[in-house]
Amino acid sequence: MTEPRLADLPLRDELRDQEPYGAPQLPVRTMLNVNETTYDVPPDVVDAIAKEVRAAAATLNRYPDREFTVLRQKLAAYLTGESGAELNADQIWAGNGSNEVMQHILQAFAGPGRSVMSFPPTYSMYPLYARGVYSDYIAGTRSADFTQEPDDVAAQIREDRPHVVILCSPNNPTGTSLSLDVVEAAYDAALESDTMVVVDEAYGEFRQPGTRSALTMLPGRPRLIVTRTMSKAFALAGGRLGYLAAAPAVTDALRLVRLPYHLSAITQAAATAALDHAETLMANVQRIKVQRDRLVSELNDMGLNPYPSDANFVLFGGLQDAHAAWQHLLDDGILIREAAITGHLRVTAGTEPETTDFLNSMRSYLNG
Ligand code: PMP
């Protein structure tokens, strides 16, 4: 019997001829393509995670705490300290990565016959989340320099009346964060059309000093949701823990769509242990920010056009042939990201030696 091919299966029509999402995972020396923290997990954090996971292992005959109570308490305390916004455990929701959290949001507030709007160039998963829940996707627009203005964002929401609007701040791949005026204008416009507003702050901890998180806007705004992840600042991409803060009624809505026991006891244990070591892990955030600012300054010195960044990566333009530059770097053992913007590439800020490795290779490419 011959194996059936994908094309022969009764697949949903909109999935035909689609490619799965995913950046290359290649065995290279310097991997700066998916905005991970490239520092190893510090040994004391490894020990703490191993200890918690070991304790959880003894309970695996039982289903995990469906309400992930301890984790929610720790996430609320962490966010309160990080942002200055007073948050309680009943305002927190979590999932296996902020990808799953976003899927829960769309399952609850978008769905068939409804629409989801975001503003490209932005995180390329947003249209795919919409497709996954059978919603229409609306691509909003930005200014030519990729910034967003309060009046313009509000006008687009008033015009299109999406059911969910996603603002990404700091934005992937451009790196810039939104002024809270934009979030406020979007929220006020969204209230008129029964729209939920999501601010994706996956890179929130890397924001420039003096800027505020949208978490501080939650009081009095029951239709605002702010998502975060432990994949970036906490160096826990492999642990798969994303979360959000919103009004308690929003977390009640998400309980309606989550699968039972969606957060395993192992995941809860690992994330809890990492949160207990937030201070150690945040020391690396400071080091990464130094390398991020160095990337902007040195790429600029090379005559390229880096964008200012509030994230752990830098988008840069000014390349005649971005693919050729990407290939040169790869041949040198350095993997970065091809952006969906002509002439541009995106590079994650790594450790100091990794960043040097990238900058040297970039210089050698330009001096050709
Ligand atoms: N939002 C943004 C803007 C991202 O860049 C990413 C990951 N690259 C995510 C969400 C998802 O991250 P995770 O599922 O690992 O939390």
Cβ count within 10 A of residue 68: 27
Kindly list the protein residues whose Cβ atom lies closer than 6 A to any atom of ligand 1: 35, 97-99, 123, 168, 172, 200, 202, 229, 231, 237, 242
With both helix axes pointing from N to C terminus, report the angle between 150-160 and 180-192 in degrees, rounded to the nearest 10: 20
pLDDT attached to residue 2: 78
Please tell me the predicted confidence (pLDDT) of residue 317: 97
pTM listed for this prediction:
0.97
Q: What is the mean pLDDT of the chain?
A: 96
Distance CA 80, CA 278 (A): 13
Q: At residue 20, does pLDDT exceed 90?
A: no
Fold of 44-277: Aspartate Aminotransferase; domain 2 (3.40.640)
The string of pLDDT tens digits covering residues 354-367 is 999 999 999 999 99
Record the tokens describing residue 165, joined without a space: 């609007």
- Counting from 1 in the atom list of ligand 1, the atom nearest the Cα of 122 is 3
Atom of ligand 1 nearest to the CA of 171: 3
For the CA of 237, the closest atom of ligand 1 is 15
Position in ligand 1 atom list of the atom nearest CA 96? 14
The Å distance, Cα 229 to ligand 1 centre, comes to 7
Distance 124 CA to ligand 1 centre (A): 10
Q: How many whole angstroms from 232 Cα to the centroid of ligand 1?
A: 8
Decide if pLDDT at 1 tops 70.
Answer: no
Average pLDDT over residues 71-75: 98
**Which atom of ligand 1 lies closest to the CA of 102?**
10
Q: Which atom of ligand 1 is nearest to the CA of 35?
A: 8
The pLDDT tens digits for 245-256 are: 999 999 999 999
3-state SS assignment for residue 103: helix
Tens-place pLDDT, residues 167-185:
999 999 999 999 999 999 9
The string of pLDDT tens digits covering residues 116-143 is 999 999 999 999 999 999 999 999 999 9
Q: What percent of the chain has pLDDT over 70?
A: 100
Bridge partners for 317 per DSSP: 305
Q: For residue 3, name the pLDDT band (cuts at 50, 70, 90).
A: confident
Which tokens in the block code for residue 367? Answer: 């001096």
**Mutate which of 99, 100, 167, 198 for ligand 1 pocket (most atoms within 8 A of beta carbon):** 99
User: What DSSP designation does 237 have?
Assistant: G
Q: 36-60, pLDDT tens digit by residue?
A: 999 999 999 999 999 999 999 999 9
Which residue has its alpha carbon closest to ligand 1 atom 12?
98
pLDDT, tens only, 310-327: 999 999 999 999 999 999
Q: Which residues pair with 164 in a beta bridge?
A: 116, 196
Ligand 1 test: best mutation among 75, 105, 106, 172, most atoms within 8 Å of CB?
Answer: 172
Q: What's the ipTM?
A: 0.99
More confident residue, 138 or 208: 138
Beta partners for residue 196, in sequence order: 164
Using CA atoms, how far apart are residues 230 and 272, in angstroms rounded to an integer?
Answer: 11
The Å distance, Cα 122 to ligand 1 centre, comes to 11
What would be the CATH architecture of the domain defined by 6-41+280-366? Alpha-Beta Complex (3.90)
What distance in angstroms lies between residue 104's CA and the mean position of ligand 1's atoms? 14
Q: What would the mean pLDDT of 268-296 be, rounded to a whole number?
A: 97
Mean pLDDT along residues 224-235: 97
Identify residue 367 by its one-letter amino acid code: N
Classify strands 92-95 and 242-245 as parallel, antiparallel or unpaired. Answer: antiparallel
Domain ranges of the chain: 6-41+280-366, 44-277
Q: Which of 300, 354, 252, 271 is nearest to 32 (CA)?
A: 354
Per-residue pLDDT band for 113 (boundaries 50, 70, 90) equals: very high
Q: Which residue from 93, 105, 123, 171 has its CB within 8 A of the most atoms of ligand 1, so it is best to mutate?
A: 123
The alpha carbon of 172 and the centre of ligand 1 are apart by a number of angstroms equal to 9
Residue holding tokens 């687009």? 156
Mean pLDDT of 232-237: 96
C-alpha span between 282 and 363 (Å, rounded)? 31
Pocket test for ligand 1, best of 125, 207, 244, 347 (most atoms within 8 A of CB): 125
Cα 32 to ligand 1 centre (Å): 15
Tokens for 326, please give them.
């990407």
Counting from 1 in the atom list of ligand 1, the atom nearest the Cα of 98 is 16
